[in-house]
Amino acid sequence: MRAFLGSMTGRVFATLLLGILLTAALTQLLADAERQRVIETYRDQHLLDRAEQLIMATEIVPESARPSYLDIANRPGLLLKDVAGAAGIPAPAQSAFARQLAARLGPRYELRSLVERPEQCGIGYEQPVVFGLLSMTWRGTCENISVRLRDGDELRLSVLPPRSVTGPERTDYTTAIALLLLSVAFLAYLVARMTTRPLKQLAQAAKNLGNDINHPPLDLTGADEIRQASAAFNAMQARIRQYIFQRTQMLAAITHDLQTPLTRLRLRLEKVNEPDLQERLIGDLSAMQQMVREGLDLARSMDTTETMQMLDLDSLLDSVCADAADAQQRVSLSGHAGMALLGRPLDLRRCLVNLIDNAVKYGHAAKVTVDRINGAARIRIRDAGPGIPEAELARVFDPFYRVETSRSRESGGTGLGLTIARNIAEQHGGSIALANHPEGGLEVTLMLPEYYPGK
C-alpha cells in the first residue's frame, strides 16, 4: 500500500478519491440543510392554518365543553388547552409565528409569546438525511403562545417539534454507502490510470534507453502533450544513437589508421643496435598499442548493438573463472545464484574478465563469491592486495585514472578496465561498488538484477 501511494498513480488516485468524496459530502450537507429549511417553512405555514382554524373553532364551542373538544381536536405538533388563571410570563416581544397568527386572527384576539417553552423543545428532533451521513436538529417554531379569545377566555397554544419521520428501526444505508464508495473509487482509479499510464511508458522508455540505445522508438499516441514528449524523446534517442555511432566509427578509424605506422615503427625498432634502448622503445610502443585497443573497447562498451538474450549466470561465471584458471591465474569460485539474466553475453563476459584481471593483476589472486539478495545477483570479487585509499575509491572509475602507489604503470594497464566494467553493468540495470575488506584486500561488488518475464 505504501508503494502504491508513493507512485504517481496512487497519488492521483488518492487526490481524486478524496476530492470526490469531500465534494459529495459537502453537496449532501448543503442539500440536506436546504431540504430542512424548506420543510420547516412549509410546516410553519401549515401550523398557522391549523392554529387559526383550531382557535376559531374552539371559540364556537361552549366554554364548559371546550376541554372535551380540545382533547379530541388537538393533533401532534399543535396543542391548545385552557389555562384560565395560569397564563404564564409574557416574553418581551412577540415571535414571528405569533405575529403572523395574530395578523390572521385579527385585532379582537390578543396573542402574547411566553417565556416558558414546552418541555419537548429541549429534547430536540434528529431528522435522518440521505445516506445517513448527517443528522440535524429541528430549528422550526417551538414555543408557547397565550391566546385570549373574544369572550375573554385564556388559552395556551403550544407549537411542538414534529415526531420522527422514521420508524423505530432506522434505514440501513450501509449498502448504498458501499456502492457509492466503490463506484467513486473505480472511477478515480480509471482516471488515475489514464493520466499516469503515458508517464509510466515514458519512464520505461527512458530505462530501456539506458539498457539499449537501439530500442524501438515510442509510439506517438495519447494526448497532444504526451505525443509531443514522445516525439522529443524519440528525437533525443536518435541523436544519442548517432553520436555514439559516430564516436565509435571515429575511434575505430583512428585505431585502424594507427596500426600501420605502429607496425612500421615496431619493424624499424628491430634494427636498433642497442638492446636496452630497443627494449624500452618496444615497451613504450606496446603500451601505445594497448592504450589504443582499450580506448576502442571503452567506446564499444557504450555501444549496445549486441542482441540481448537469456543467460545462465552460474554457467557464465564458471566459464570465465575456468578460462582464467587455464591462463594460470589464481581464481576461485564459490556460491550459487540460480537465476537467469537478460543481457549481452560478450559484454557481460568482458565485464567479469576485466574485474577478475584487475584483481589478479594488483592483488595476485581473485576470490569470486556469488549469491542472491533482494531479487538480484551479487558477485563479489576480492583480491589479496593492499587495497585502495578511501579517498580514491570513487575516482578509480574515471577513464585513464590510476592510483599512483601500488597500482602504477609498471604493473601494466591503462586505467580503463573499471570504467568499461561499470558501463556494461549499468547498461544491464546493475551497479559496481568498491570497498576495502576488513581482513585486507579490495572487494568489488557487482549487482545484476534478475530477469522477470513480462517486466
The per-residue pLDDT for range 27-47, each reduced to its tens digit, is 877 877 787 788 888 888 999
The answer on 228 and 113 residing in a single domain is: no
The answer on 311 and 300 residing in a single domain is: no
Residue 252 lies in a domain: yes
Task: Average the pLDDT over 195-215 and give the result.
Answer: 76
Mean pLDDT of the chain: 79
Task: Average the pLDDT over 41-65 and give the result.
Answer: 89
Residue 454 lies in a domain: no
Cell of 19: 476530492
The answer on 367 and 219 residing in a single domain is: no
The answer on 237 and 133 residing in a single domain is: no
Q: Say how many domains are in the chain.
A: 3
| For residue 370, pLDDT beyond 90 | yes
Residue 433 lies in a domain: yes
Residue 455 lies in a domain: no
Query: Of 285, 305, 325, which residue constitutes the final position of a domain?
Result: 305
Report the 10 Å Cβ neighbour count for 134: 15
Closest CA to 17 of 187, 268, 225: 187
The answer on 397 and 263 residing in a single domain is: no
Query: Of 252, 287, 305, which residue constitutes the final position of a domain?
Result: 305
Residue 183 lies in a domain: no
The answer on 277 and 319 residing in a single domain is: no
Task: Average the pLDDT over 71-90 and give the result.
Answer: 82
Query: For position 168, what pLDDT does the model report?
Result: 45
372 backbone dihedrals φ, ψ, rounded to 5°: -130, 130
Contact present, 36 and 130 (Cβ < 8 Å):
no
Contacts of 398 (CB under 8 A, 6+ apart): 415, 419
pTM summary value: 0.47
Distance (Å, whole) CA 303 – CA 430: 16
| For residue 379, pLDDT beyond 90 | yes
How many Å separate Cα 387 from the centre of its chain? 42
Q: Which domain holds residue 127?
A: 2-174
Helix spans in 271-333 (H) = 275-301, 313-326
Rg for the chain, CA atoms, rounded: 46
Query: For position 171, what pLDDT does the model report?
Result: 53
The answer on 269 and 132 residing in a single domain is: no
| For residue 342, pLDDT beyond 90 | no
Task: Average the pLDDT over 180-204 and give the result.
Answer: 81
Residue 224 lies in a domain: yes
The answer on 435 and 319 residing in a single domain is: yes
Distance (Å, whole) CA 89 – CA 112: 9
How many Å separate Cα 199 from the centre of its chain? 12
The answer on 146 and 75 residing in a single domain is: yes
| For residue 170, pLDDT beyond 80 | no
Task: Average the pLDDT over 126-150 and give the result.
Answer: 67
Q: What is the pLDDT of residues 392-429, one digit of tens each?
A: 777 777 776 666 544 444 445 556 778 888 888 888 88
Contact present, 360 and 370 (Cβ < 8 Å):
no
Cell of 128: 435522518
Residue 187 lies in a domain: no
* Between 300 and 330, the higher pLDDT residue: 330
Q: What is the pLDDT of residues 260-285, one digit of tens each?
A: 787 778 777 777 778 888 788 887 77
| For residue 181, pLDDT beyond 60 | yes
The answer on 299 and 167 residing in a single domain is: no
Query: Of 260, 278, 305, which residue constitutes the final position of a domain?
Result: 305
| For residue 126, pLDDT beyond 50 | no
The answer on 153 and 137 residing in a single domain is: yes
The answer on 166 and 22 residing in a single domain is: yes
* Between 251 and 85, the higher pLDDT residue: 251
Task: Average the pLDDT over 435-454 and give the result.
Answer: 80
In this structure, what CATH number is given to the domain that contains residue 414?
3.30.565.10
